[in-house]
Chain A
């Protein structure tokens, strides 16, 4: 099968959908050259650096029958559009009694590894998970990127496509044939029986590397990639943990009220899954700090395969005995 980078897969998804539906147009502060070349400057619009305006304009255009895509580029810039995201886009369908749908895709890069320091290395997706009315996904492979982004463009709701900075240039197989991946469906990236690792984006690859190394020791690790954050595929996560009895959650974001906390709750709130647990759930997250610049500092803040491995070993040991009273 041919290989594309994660970024190329996303562009292919946009281009394919734009060819099929003339109501789709794209707004970004800098147009992407191949899209501009194919679709022209009316559908690939170069905008002022005014993300608040773009984010809101997409809502009005969507409510008027178009299917806009807004490229925030880094999620950092979404924060200047927060009113339009939080007060408008996420609520407008519900608040107006469902009288119109608002098909919008917002694209935003997330994650570290780029040495760009605190404002440009962020994983704030849990802030958006907290809103009702937005769908969110964060793929780990070019294949998933293309299939999910195509579904998002066809979805009749505001969807945020979170895209990992660390994976943009990473290659993977993408078939020539048309396909989509439904939002809300997790993918078991590696089957195993001893421990479940739920991981996102780059950490899926780190978890797979950890699993491969541990296989040599006879430890069987299952890696579950939720892919979509909202709606979250709780069933696949619970089914996996019911099988393995142990859960490690790996997330490039900090732990506080994060995606990892949500997954832990999904597992522990469910009677059957809770009953299957042989060990406390373990989270492997970034440190709860703004992301620092200097390489040694940044690398220390983010989790990696070594910390995932440590987490797996910890849950295999089971609960520590309670201290004597």
Chain B
């Protein structure tokens, strides 16, 4: 199941998933404490997708994210300090306090941004795929998006153009069952988004999005195909948004409690932890040490954020245009 992933690599994947989980628990907590503003969308329950895909990429490959973007940032290697500082609205944040949770980007590591518009990033990252093809160095680009975005125009336009031009792309649909507060089953005529790939003449793959090794394997195959110049792949990861659409209190949450409970039994982080233990690649002490190290890293990130000054009001007019 883990294929040829070394135990170290598997533990690293677990650590990244755990980091995403704890980062967002902290972000939610600090949001409710009034230290983080606006809105926070949690990726909790979907971590195996971001980590499973990004572990199949090279640092020079490029990805784009969604409004639910912390997981993709961390999986691509973003700095927790600068992420937390951005959530805290500080100068040292990735976007100097201009973006917040929905707009964290780090172009230096090929993370082309979280994006507040559903389907808004698909075309942008398809352009990064075109850039990779024109560079001719075997780079690939990955579009992460949800089941909601798969019903929007850019999904169709971009899969068509990527297929026609054989762009080195992965289109990774995180089907978490819910588009904001509307169930995916209410807005999709077909049960599988991946089935739409046939309409573009590209492979469409359905994987268990809570099984990180299944995700990694599907992503690795798609990456190999893309690097070989054979074009894009649509991967649908069936997963679940364990929390409400946002962390805001008092919003409607139409999810059925039994449905939530059933998916909690398939929590991807717990699944991987158990697998590694069952394989003999992780013991209780190792797991506890990992927890401590992740929590310590988050404490450092919060301390970094709190130590960073807020932007001065005058900085509101900086960076409207590039030099």
Contact = CB atoms under 8 A, between A and B. Distances in A.
B113 A96 contact: yes
B105 A88 contact: no
A96 B78 CA distance: 14
B225 interface: no
A158 to B, nearest CB: 10
B107 A94 contact: no
- Interface size class on chain B is 35 or more
Contacts of A42: 134
A157 B322 contact: yes
Interface string B187-230: 00000000000000000000000000000000000000000000
B95 interface: yes
Contacts of A56: 120, 122-124, 126-127, 154, 158
A53 B128 contact: no
B77 to A, nearest CB: 15
A220 to B, nearest CB: 37
B106 interface: yes
Contacts of B1: none
Contact of B131 (A47, A65, A157): A65
A25 B134 CA distance: 10
Given A53-B154, A64-B62, A88-B117, A93 B319 contact: yes
A58 B126 CA distance: 9
Nearest to B124: A60
A54 B134 CA distance: 16
Interface string A146-167: 0000000000110000000000
Interface stretch (A99-107, A258-266, A292-300): A99-107
A101 B154 CA distance: 23
Contacts of A83: 117, 120, 154
A50 B160 contact: yes
A156 B323 CA distance: 7
Given A56-B122, A132-B320, A64 B128 contact: yes
Interface string B87-109: 00000011111110001011110
B112 interface: yes
Contact of A48 (B98, B130, B157, B319): B157
B318 A60 contact: no
Contact of B154 (A52, A62, A96): A52
B320 A94 contact: yes
Contacts of B107: 63, 96, 99-100
B322 A98 contact: yes
A60 B108 CA distance: 14
Nearest to A96: B105
A139 to B, nearest CB: 20
A48 B322 CA distance: 30
A231 B213 CA distance: 52
B198 to A, nearest CB: 18
B5 interface: no
A283 interface: no
B58 to A, nearest CB: 14
A44 B129 CA distance: 17
Contacts, number: 141
A55 interface: yes
B59 interface: no
A93 B105 CA distance: 11
Interface string A65-83: 1101000000000000001
A101 to B, nearest CB: 4
Given A64-B131, A99-B95, A59 B320 contact: no
Contact of A95 (B103, B123, B128, B154): B103
A66 B322 contact: no
Contacts of B161: 47-48, 50, 53, 57
B95 to A, nearest CB: 4
Contacts of A25: 134
B252 to A, nearest CB: 25
Contact of B127 (A61, A95, A98, A103): A61
Interface centre among A42, A58, A97, A98, by most B CB within 10 Å? A97
A140 interface: no
A68 B127 CA distance: 10
B105 A99 contact: yes
A157 B161 CA distance: 25
Interface in B120-171: 120, 122-132, 134-135, 141, 153-154, 157-158, 160-161, 164
Contacts of B127: 56-64, 68
A100 B95 CA distance: 11
A256 to B, nearest CB: 25
A172 interface: no
B94 A52 contact: no
A95 B95 contact: yes
Contacts of A65: 131, 135
Contacts of A99: 94-95, 105-108
A93 B126 contact: no
Given A65-B131, A96-B103, A101 B322 contact: yes
A133 interface: yes
A97 B98 contact: yes
A94 B153 contact: no
Contacts of A64: 62, 127-128, 131-132, 135
Given A57-B126, A96-B94, 12 more contacts: A54-B123, A60-B128, A64-B127, A64-B132, A66-B131, A83-B117, A88-B124, A92-B113, A95-B103, A97-B96, A99-B107, A133-B321
Q: Across chains A and B, which 6 residue pairs bring their CB atoms closest together, nearest first? A: A56-B123, A60-B127, A57-B127, A98-B319, A64-B131, A97-B95
Interface of B: 62, 64, 93-99, 103, 105-108, 112-113, 115-117, 120, 122-132, 134-135, 141, 153-154, 157-158, 160-161, 164, 318-323
